[in-house]
Structure 1
Amino acid sequence: MKHKFVVGESVHFTASNVARPAASGAYEVVQLLPTDGDDCQYRIKNSTEAFERVAKESQLDVC
């Protein structure tokens, strides 16, 4: 399975209901991660948060 986004790309993140509240705005893809079942995963970072998040491709959209 091929990742849709690349490292350094800006994306919009939509958090799931069980995730901690997410900062609004653009996130940067900082690392490509292995797939989780049928969904590619990414490590993403928002400039207003002190930590990185793991997101599935289905939670991301192009900015």
Structure 2
Amino acid sequence: MTSHSFKVGQTVRLSQKTVGPGVAGVYKILALLPEEHGDCQYRVQSTVSSQQRVVQESQLSRL
């Protein structure tokens, strides 16, 4: 089992390369979710809107 690299409350960048320009940006981690296909997952919320999504750790980077 892989451990999460980010913590709840941490601010991260969602990569444009992995999700596209309309979704990429800065997000806050709301919850740690179980891994899927060897990649940890997170529930995140945009820092500029109320938009939430579930993303894979491989799509995130530190600010």
Distance in 2 of aligned mates of 1:55 and 1:32: 10
Q: Are the equivalent residues in 2 in contact too, given 1:23–1:48 (CA < 8 A)?
A: no
The answer for the alignment partner of 1:43 in structure 2 is 43
Amino-acid identity (%): 34
Q: Are the equivalent residues in 1 in contact too, given 2:41–2:56 (CA < 8 A)?
A: yes
Q: Find out whether 1:7 has 2:13 as its counterpart.
A: no
Distance in 2 of aligned mates of 1:9 and 1:45: 11
Secondary structure (helix, strand or coil) at the match of 2:58 reads: helix
RMSD: 1.9
Distance in 2 of aligned mates of 1:39 and 1:47: 23
Structure 2 unaligned residues grouped into runs of 5+: none
TM-score (norm 2): 0.81
Structure 1 unaligned residues grouped into runs of 5+: none
Secondary structure (helix, strand or coil) at the match of 1:2 reads: coil
Secondary structure (helix, strand or coil) at the match of 1:40 reads: strand
